């Protein structure tokens, strides 16, 4: 089945199960009748094995992987230059500017810029990522006056509802819970997504099952991640769902998850991701 048709079908099915709502339920029911059981099983299999290459995955060719590596290395040099916290909220244009102004980084080449531009504007539905795109412009910037830096985390949150929700969580759960990832600009999302793709031979579909492609992350507009102190990297795994912290988040009503278990958005289960 064509990816786009399958997308419409699974969204229709999810509307009927309460996993993901779409506006026109009558239309959803009509589309749902067209989906084949095997297609849904295939989708669920992919998501159960999100970190494994799957038939039909979009994979960069050799030339593209070379550009991925050079672009990623340059972004990493920008990150080291400005600092990890500052890089989280750095715009793409400012990353290019740092490249032009610092010989230790080096100017982004025309080919690298074209590669990153193409990647940003590529329709992630083709990867199998069915989420919305809240950041539509590659050049989108984040105003520092709209942010609050969270002490001892190296992360920022937006003022207003995101910061308020985090403070409430800390008040209810105590110091055991902490902010693991806050606001992310386009440049930061590029590093995360490309790092995952590079580690998997340029497999963009596999990367998208764990990390939103640039522009598609709600970290750019308010969402954030929390973890339990002492858990380390396991805070970004299903193990977090088994922690006392996660249980208390659920009990206090904070787990209105962006990507719940068995979601039909092409994204693995993320019990640490707080929806704002």
Q: According to the model, what pLDDT value does residue 15 have?
A: 45
Strands 155-158, 177-181: parallel, antiparallel or unpaired by DSSP? unpaired
The SS3 of residue 82 is helix
Sheet (strand 177-181) strand order: 177-181, 224-228, 273-274
User: Within 13 Å and on the Cβ side, how many CA atoms surround 276?
Assistant: 25
Q: pTM score, two decimals?
A: 0.87
The SS3 of residue 178 is strand
Q: According to the model, what pLDDT value does residue 212 have?
A: 97
- Second-level CATH architecture of 36-144+176-274: 2-Layer Sandwich (3.30)
Q: 233 exposed, middle or buried (CB, 10 Å; 0-12, 13-18, 19+)?
A: exposed
What is the 3-state composition of the chain as percent helix, strand, coil, each rounded to the nearest 5? Answer: 50, 10, 40
> Cα–chain-centroid distance for residue 114?
22
> For residue 59, which phi and psi values (nearest 5 degrees)?
-125, 135
Among 265, 273, 274, 272, CA closest to 132: 265
Beta strands in the chain (DSSP E): 147-150, 155-158, 177-181, 224-228, 273-274
Q: According to the model, what pLDDT value does residue 184 have?
A: 98
Q: According to the model, what pLDDT value does residue 259 have?
A: 87
Using one digit for the tens of pLDDT, what is the confidence trace for 3-47?
A: 555 555 555 555 444 444 334 444 444 544 555 666 788 888 888
Among 195, 158, 155, 196, CA closest to 179: 155
The SS3 of residue 55 is coil
Strands 224-228, 177-181: parallel, antiparallel or unpaired by DSSP? antiparallel
Q: According to the model, what pLDDT value does residue 262 have?
A: 81
Q: According to the model, what pLDDT value does residue 189 have?
A: 98
Using one digit for the tens of pLDDT, what is the confidence trace for 66-95?
A: 999 999 999 999 999 999 999 999 999 999
Q: Are 7 and 130 in contact (CB under 8 A)?
A: yes
Q: According to the model, what pLDDT value does residue 8 have?
A: 55
Q: According to the model, what pLDDT value does residue 11 have?
A: 55
Taking phi over 0 as left and psi of -120 to 50 as alpha, with beta for the rest, 215 belongs to left
Q: Which residues of the chain have pLDDT under 70?
A: 1-38
């Amino acid at each position: 089945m064509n990816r786009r048709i399958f997308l419409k079908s699974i969204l229709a099915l999810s509307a009927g199960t309460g996993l993901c709502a779409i506006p026109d339920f009558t239309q959803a029911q009509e589309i749902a009748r067209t989906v084949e059981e095997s297609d849904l099983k295939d989708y669920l299999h992919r998501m159960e094995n999100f970190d494994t290459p799957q038939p039909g995955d979009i994979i960069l060719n050799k030339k593209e992987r070379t550009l991925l590596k050079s672009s990623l290395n340059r972004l990493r040099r920008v990150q080291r230059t400005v600092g990890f916290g500052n890089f989280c909220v750095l715009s793409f244009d400012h990353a290019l500017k740092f490249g032009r102004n610092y010989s230790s980084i080096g100017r982004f080449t025309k080919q690298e810029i074209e590669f990153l531009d193409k990647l940003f504007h590529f329709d992630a539905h083709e990867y199998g990522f069915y989420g919305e795109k809240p950041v539509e412009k590659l050049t989108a910037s984040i105003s520092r006056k709209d942010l609050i830096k969270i002490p001892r985390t190296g992360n920022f949150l937006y003022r207003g509802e995101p910061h308020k929700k985090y403070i409430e969580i800390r008040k209810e759960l105590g110091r055991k819970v902490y902010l693991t990832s806050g606001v992310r600009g386009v440049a930061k999302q590029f590093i995360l997504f490309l790092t995952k793709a590079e580690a998997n031979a340029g497999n963009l579909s596999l990367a998208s099952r764990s990390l939103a492609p640039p522009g598609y992350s709600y970290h750019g507009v308010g969402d954030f991640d929390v973890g339990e102190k002492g858990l380390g990297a396991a805070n970004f795994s299903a193990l977090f769902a088994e922690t006392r912290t996660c249980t208390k988040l659920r009990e206090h009503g904070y787990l209105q998850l962006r990507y719940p278990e068995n979601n039909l958005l092409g994204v693995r289960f993320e019990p640490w991701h707080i929806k704002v």
